[in-house]
Structure 1
Amino acid sequence: MPAAAPSSRPLEPAPSSLAREPGRHDVLIVGGGLVGASLAIALERIGVDVGLVEATPAGELPAVFDQRNLSFAEATINALTALGVMQKLRAPTGAIRRIHISRRGDFGRGVLDAARYGREEFGRVVVARDFGEALEARLAEATGLTRYRPVRFIGLAGEEEGHRLVRVADDNGERLLRMRLLVAADGTRSPVRDALGIAADEHDYAQTLFVARLRTSQAPDGTAYERLGDEGPTAVLPRGDRHYGLIHAVAREQADAVAAMDEAAFLERAQSVFGWRAGRFLSCGPRSAHPAIRVIAQRTSTPRAVLIGNAAQTIHPIGAQGFNLGLRDALTLAELIGDARALDTQADVGSASLLDAWLSRRHDDRERTVRFSDGLARLTANDAPLLRPLRSLGLFVLDRLPSAQAWLVGGAMGYRGDVPALCREPRA
């Protein structure tokens, strides 16, 4: 955590917000993780009065900012650069210049090369903790933001004069916050989503994903590998510290046994599944384990409230689309609010018309990305013999048919559907 991070007393607004009516905001975001913090920066940047409810105290990062490896699409990098976040990264990032896709037991492969499309790279690999520190440094510069931390969301308390009322609490008790628009960015098991009465559909892929930093005999050369198999994907991603980021899926019933392996046994297992394209696996850092479960909210809005990020959709990490999709949801919302305020400084940021416009703009991207992630996860993990020649044919076509590659490249770079303007701006 950067030393410049401001401290805050429980439930009290930051000094820059004392001139505003305490506890009343245009937008209140519950959840200070990847997407929630990014939205707070985007809204504060255009002059919206924002409150951010965070479970962690000042001086700490949320648990999501760990050693996981995040694949930022080009569109995501464009947007985060425009918001002043990428410039705050202190650790090097890893360029993704090529994407190599194969499946264990099937013939064929697919290789996407950024140079073929006139690009230096498709995106970058960023360590989640490094990103969290960059977000915190950028949040510390925000003057129109009230941070409530450490604070818990307790529940809803009705509506009043065009505002939603929310109950929050810390160790000193409860209070009410009022906002024109409530944004749930509080994760897969979202308490706000539950309080709003929005149901979610779940699918357990019966996989556990082990994540670690990986050192191999060959330094990363900009190639991101996706090795598919019966138990799920094994991804090897080029980091900026001359290591790779490893994501290794195992069948759920094997997870405890894999977790108990020593380093040598774990590396041998991962190597046997992945192969030798990145050289010999030499060592890895501490491993963390995460169940692969899809959770899709049946709705992403209700009067004066929206869901974004994992609260709206938690998808399989195959294809690395989760954060990129959530950020596009957030930035589209910020763009619509900014457009409305440009026409009328008193525009209601939680109006039904604005939320309808947001739903309309985000529908195609969300639906297609969720279907793509789910379909790829199910198809590639299915060991039915009849599917093998079809998958091999698919990899053959992908490697040689420009139109098939172009469709995948557009999605991999974040340009799917109606993309927010910040995502399309060239990087500085």
Structure 2
Amino acid sequence: MPNASEAPPTSSLRTDTAAPACHDVLIVGGGLVGASLAIALDLVGGDAGLDVGLIEAAPPGSLPAVFDERNLSFAEATVNALAALGVMQKLHAPTGAIRRIHISRRGDFGRAVLEARDHGRDAFGQVVIARDFGDALEARLAELPRVTRYRPVRFVGLEPGEAGAFRAVRVADGGGERVLHARLLVAADGTRSQVREALGIASDSHDYGQTLFVTRLRSERAPDGTAYERLGEEGPTALLPRGDRHFGLVHGVAGADADAVAALDESAFLERVQQAFGWRVGRFLSCGRPSTYPAIRTVARHLTAPRAVLVGNAAQTVHPIGAQGFNLGLRDALTLAELIGSARAADPGADCGDAGLLAAHVRRREADREQTLAFSDGLARLTANDAALLRPLRSAGLFALDRLPSLQAAIVGGALGYRGQVPALCRAGSGA
């Protein structure tokens, strides 16, 4: 194991003399998962602290594009962890508690309703506006002087050669290119991860043939804590209870129809969504301008390379049905931070990029990752298939889910964010 004081190799490219010679951990991507990881690493670093670098494409005073008006569904485990990290306390907009989940499918008989109180909870989780979450992360990061932020800076590539004691990372800003060094490189740069590509890690993708329209929506009846998942052959139509008397809408359409739907005016768009969803919350009155996202599943074949690890959407991007994506990615980040913290507690000079530590991370993430991927993909494929033979099976499944506590318990555990070996921060204060 290399000594923490060992100097990194020199580089012929420009270096930033104000930056440390080498970071313990260098995170590429300042979005939801990357920023959360930086905060978690600062927490677990101990008195000596970890030397953490965060590469962000957005300049100071600006948020990454991912922090828009979309609605994020935080599972209980996620809420616990973000509260322990001091992020939930920084939110300004009211959150919306998810106290029940109502599941149905257009054209099928039956429905299932899961009540949080039946499982000893006040709520399954909270609905948070992405922009408000971005502001909260920014406010928390501003309190952490030990995190070195490079912004606006973009990842260019890796210096050639095998990783030894360090990873040499090429980045660029308005002044040109330079090289940063890190004992551990973390790819948190999203679905089309350039870091993943530079590491030579292949991925598998599946296009569900759906485009998701996301916005806020106001209806005759204000949210009452119910999250609705209305399934259909073109994708889900979900309403999430926000804290501002609006619903967060996710409306799936066939990819071939996306341009035509995007061209609809507000009245025609509301009419379309009303037909897909029904009248459970009364007439839809207004909505914001929707953003669109293709529903594509992308899964990396490996999570690690020498002195490098993938987290969040760089590791796996799932169909948004069931709201699993960020919750899963945060557990990636928290598991990594927990392992690094444990290693540093045992040995303050422990190498964050040690191969044994990365292997332990892969083992710890295996069950949660596989189960969540299987659940999300299976649900997306099953509910979108309009074959007549599947309709009675789906109806029977909804009937059983509504009435069998044992079946509900299996679903609820995932909805709360407790799959596999859960990071300790996810259980903080929950009694779970």
Q: CA deviation at 1:160?
A: 6.3
Contact between 1:234 and 1:274, CA under 8 Å: does it hold in 2?
A: yes
Give the structure 2 partner of residue 112 of structure 1. Answer: 114
CA distance in 1, matches of 2:222, 2:276: 20
Q: CA deviation at 1:12?
A: 5.6
Asked if the contact 1:11–1:170 (Cα under 8 Å) also holds between the matched residues in 2, the reply is: no
**Counterparts of 2:123 and 2:366, CA distance in 1:** 28
Provide the residue aligned with 1:350 in structure 2.
353
Deviation per CA, 1:195-249, whole angstroms, max 9, x where unpaired?
Answer: 0001110000000000010000001000000000010100000001010000000
- Contact 1:74-1:413 within 8 A present in 2 as well: yes
- Give the TM-score, by structure 2 length: 0.94
* Paired residue type of 1:186: D
**Counterpart contact for 2:163–2:306, Cα < 8 Å:** no
Taking every aligned residue pair, what percent have the same amino acid on both sides? 73
Match of 1:28 among 10, 26, 29: 26
Which aligned pairs between 1:15-414 and structure 2 lie closer than 5 A? 22-45=20-43, 46=45, 47-157=49-159, 158=161, 162-414=165-417
* Cα pair distance change 1:393/1:161, threshold 3 Å: closer
Partners of 1:206 and 1:292 within 8 A in 2? yes
Q: Is the 8 A contact 1:11 1:148 kept in 2?
A: no
Indicate the residue corresponding to 2:424 in structure 1. Answer: 421
Deviations along 1:12-61, whole A, 9 cap, x unmatched? Answer: 68xxxx6xx62410000000000000000000122211000000100000
Q: Alpha carbons of 1:100 and 1:93: their partners in 2 closer, same or farther (altered >3 Å)?
A: same
SS at match of 1:150: coil
Find the aligned partners of 1:66 and 1:11 in 2 and give their Cα distance.
34
Structure 2 counterpart of 1:146, which letter?
T
Q: Aligned partners of 1:279 and 1:226: how far apart in 2? A: 16
In structure 1, what is the equivalent of residue 3 of structure 2?
A: none
Amino acid corresponding to residue 110 of structure 2 in structure 1? G
What does the per-residue CA deviation read over 1:349-394, in whole Å, with 9 as the maximum and x for residues that have no partner?
A: 1101000100001001000100100000000000000000000000
TM-score by length of 1: 0.95
For 1:27, what is the secondary structure of its paired residue? strand
Deviation of residue 398 (structure 1)? Answer: 0.1
Corresponding pairs, count: 413
The residue that corresponds to 1:6 in the other structure is none
Structure 2 CA distance for partners of 1:419 and 1:292, relative to 1, 3 Å: same
Letter matched to residue 238 of structure 1: P
AA aligned to 2:332 is D
Distance in 2 (CA, whole Å) between partners of 1:220 and 1:173 is: 50
- Unaligned runs of at least 5 residues, structure 1: 1-9
Q: Report the Cα distance in structure 2 between the residues aligned to 1:258 and 1:426, rounded to whole angstroms.
A: 44
Cα contact 2:70–2:130 (8 A) shared by 1: yes
Alpha-carbon offset, residue 327 of structure 1? 0.3
Q: Is the 8 A contact 1:336 1:358 kept in 2?
A: yes
Q: Is the 8 A contact 2:98 2:225 kept in 1?
A: yes
* Matched residue SS, 1:201: strand
Cα distance change of structure 1 residues 347 and 396 upon mapping to structure 2, 3 Å threshold: same
Kindly provide the amino acid, as one letter, of the partner of residue 174 in structure 2.
D
SS for the counterpart of 1:72 is strand
How far apart in 1 are the matches of 2:137 and 2:248?
21
**2 CA distance for matches of 1:39 and 1:203?**
27
Quote the offset at 1:159 in angstroms.
5.2
Cα drift, residue 118 of structure 1: 1.3
Distance 1:109 1:43 in 2: 43
Give the drift of 1:426.
Answer: 1.0
Structure 2 counterpart SS, 1:348: coil
The unaligned stretches of length 5 or more in structure 2 are: 1-13
**AA at the equivalent of 2:262:** A
